[in-house]
Chain A
Amino acid sequence: AQKITQTQPGMFVQEKEAVTLDCTYDTSDQSYGLFWYKQPSSGEMIFLIYQGSYDEQNATEGRYSLNFQKARKSANLVISASQLGDSAMYFCAMRGRAGNNRKLIWGLGTSLAVNP
């Protein structure tokens, strides 16, 4: 069965430092996609970054990068130069298997607090 695990319920980081949010996944599929979303206190879900299983390079979007280690089945989100506005919940998700690949499998999230 497919599963996403986020083992850090809460994280703290000092402003301007980098932080890594962990995500491990379980799937038997060869082709899959991994996503990170941000949910600030205002409640909306914001797409951050995507990594395909066949992508050779780690995905990057501005200050966000995805540390993709396929053999270890991990897809950690790295936020560089943290800002106060990065304080939020962060969710890792995986695209469902072929034939049902319009569904996402979600982790339970990590709450990040950026300290000034």
Chain B
Amino acid sequence: NAGVTQTPKFQVLKTGQSMTLQCAQDMNHNSMYWYRQDPGMGLRLIYYSASEGTTDKGEVPNGYNVSRLNKREFSLRLESAAPSQTSVYFCASLQDALAKNIQYFGAGTRLSVL
């Protein structure tokens, strides 16, 4: 039972470097999400994908791009990392076959941008 798998778990970047955070789910969920979590600010939605082939902006999309490669995978890309993007990033997928709409989360990626 892998659920939602995120890689890497930790990453340190220099300002201006690029990287892609990977996320995959094996629960056959249609919807997937990327959040960032900062101290005192709770979870903020960066982007989400309601289904394969569609993506939409969340609250804080600036500086990020996403790709919904297939139903299983949803990646988050930082093209030119900035110190303000130092955060913990979570990927989630949604069990939307039921009215409850429960989101299941990956273990998170701790990103530091120096």
Contact = CB atoms under 8 A, between A and B. Distances in A.
B103 A47 contact: yes
Classify the secondary structure of A's interface with B: strand
A106 B35 CA distance: 11
Interface string B21-40: 00000000001000000001
A73 interface: no
A28 B38 CA distance: 29
Interface stretch (A11-19, A62-70, A75-83, A95-103): A95-103
B101 A101 contact: yes
Interface residues on B, range: 20 to 34
Contacts of B88: 43
B74 interface: no
28 contacts: A33-B99, A35-B103, A43-B107, A43-B108, A43-B110, A44-B107, A45-B90, A45-B92, A45-B108, A47-B103, A47-B104, A52-B100, A91-B43, A95-B101, A101-B101, A102-B31, A102-B48, A102-B50, A102-B96, A103-B45, A103-B48, A103-B58, A106-B42, A106-B43, A107-B42, A108-B40, A108-B41, A109-B42
Interface of A: 33, 35, 37, 43-47, 50, 52, 91, 95, 101-104, 106-109
